[in-house]
Chain A
């Protein structure tokens, strides 16, 4: 006993050390929370959104009415065969934090699925179920399928910037590309994948990157645009995927997504 000042210094040092170790553990816990625990919450919300969709689709099957979109409510399903046959997410209306915690969110006022214009959807790349974790793996002509209560809409990723020059050769090699054009004119900036600054709201404009375009709706391409964060764990930029509508398959009877998947050759 009786180690006066040296003992005090020891206690102080030890306590500081303990606090630092504790802080380290808390930070690790937070990483686990942000990357994994938020997935659990999102999975729950996705599940109830999917149930809601099932009910809505079976209540008015094949009805070609324009559904009323309510912020936070699911209205369509998104499939990407390239990410696996079981990849599917209920798409909700709205792109605020609250809505994106459920799943991919539709930019309000952007086009509806299948309509001319730009059906634009934002989604998390990290945490919260990360529906868009792998969007960087999408290649030109990969299918992105949207299910509404009446139709399956098949969009295909547009040519990448470096593929545009040799696109015809590409199309001959890959039959999936037959109806995927190189867009020109007002659409010349629209390619399969782009990295843009976060303030480029015009990436989801009806004619992307031409917010002041006066192109009449009837002449607009039916596009689909996905936006997510970039780089993967940062927010300094956004990754944008542009796709064009190539097929519209009405829902008949019990023919569901697996049937459609066979029709389009699995991807």
Chain B
């Protein structure tokens, strides 16, 4: 796969290296800016409050509703 990409990069070696670095940077940027922010809220250690917080009704006197479960 990576060999195939490398063979299809145009130009002399220096240009190919530059293009490869740009491609990697683009993929990392896509992950960091789009994919990970979407994925991250599903991590378990984001749940720090007690009670039914996701529904907006924060835990106060007596409303002991079920917590969001992943």
Interface residues of A (CB under 8 A from B): 14-15, 18-19, 26, 29-30, 33-34, 37-38, 94-97, 100, 105, 107-110, 120, 122-128, 132, 196-206, 211-212, 227-229, 232-236, 238, 240
B:1-57 near A, CB below 8 Å: 1-3, 28, 31-32, 36, 39-41, 43-54, 56
Q: CB-nearest residue of chain B relative to A225? A: B50
| B52-66 at interface with A (beta carbon < 8 Å) | 52-54, 56, 58-66
- In the bound complex, do residue B47 and residue A229 qualify as a contact, i.e. CB atoms below 8 Å apart? yes
- Asked, given contacts A199-B51, A201-B52, whether A232 binds B40 with beta carbons under 8 Å apart, the answer is no
User: Smallest Cβ distance from A195 to chain B, in angstroms?
Assistant: 12
In-complex Cβ contact of A96 among B28, B56, B59, B70 (8 A): B56
Residue contacts A-B, CB under 8 angstroms, 28 given: A29-B28, A29-B31, A33-B36, A33-B40, A95-B48, A96-B54, A97-B46, A100-B46, A100-B48, A107-B58, A107-B59, A108-B58, A110-B58, A122-B49, A122-B53, A196-B50, A198-B67, A199-B52, A199-B64, A199-B65, A201-B63, A202-B59, A205-B59, A211-B61, A227-B50, A229-B44, A234-B45, A236-B44
Residues of A within 8 A of B61 (CB): 109, 202, 205-206, 211
Q: Report whether A233 and B45 are in contact in the complex, using a CB–CB cutoff of 8 Å.
A: yes
In the assembly, what is the distance between CA of A233 and CA of B2, in Å?
Answer: 35
Partner of A201, one of B40, B41, B47, B60: B60
A95 and B49 within 8 A (CB): yes
A107 touches B45 (CB 8 A): no
B interface, CB within 8 angstroms of A: 1-3, 28, 31-32, 36, 39-41, 43-54, 56, 58-67, 70
Which of A19, A38, A109, A206 is in CB contact (< 8 Å) with B58?
Answer: A109
Judging by beta carbons under 8 Å apart, are A233 and B44 in contact? yes
Q: Which residues of A contact B66 (CB under 8 A)?
A: 199
* Alpha-carbon separation in the docked complex, A175 to B12 (Å): 75
Shortest Cβ distance from residue B59 to the other chain A in the assembled complex, whole angstroms: 3
Bound-complex Cα distance A124 to B61 (A): 23
Q: State how many angstroms separate the Cβ of B1 from the closest Cβ of chain A.
A: 5
Q: Is the CB of A204 within 8 A of B31?
A: no
Given A29-B31, A96-B54, A201-B51, A18 and B1 contact (CB-CB distance below 8 Å): yes
**Contact indicator B62/A227 (Cβ below 8 Å):** no
Q: For residue A28, give the distance in angstroms from its CB to the closest CB of chain B.
A: 11
A123 adjacent to B36 (CB under 8 Å): no
Asked, given contacts A18-B1, A107-B49, A123-B48, whether A30 binds B64 with beta carbons under 8 Å apart, the answer is no
Q: Are B58 and A198 in contact (CB under 8 A)?
A: no
A89 to chain B, nearest CB (A): 13
B54 / chain A contacts, CB cutoff of 8 Å: 96
A19 touches B1 (CB 8 A): yes
Task: Report whether A33 and B32 are in contact in the complex, using a CB–CB cutoff of 8 Å.
Answer: yes
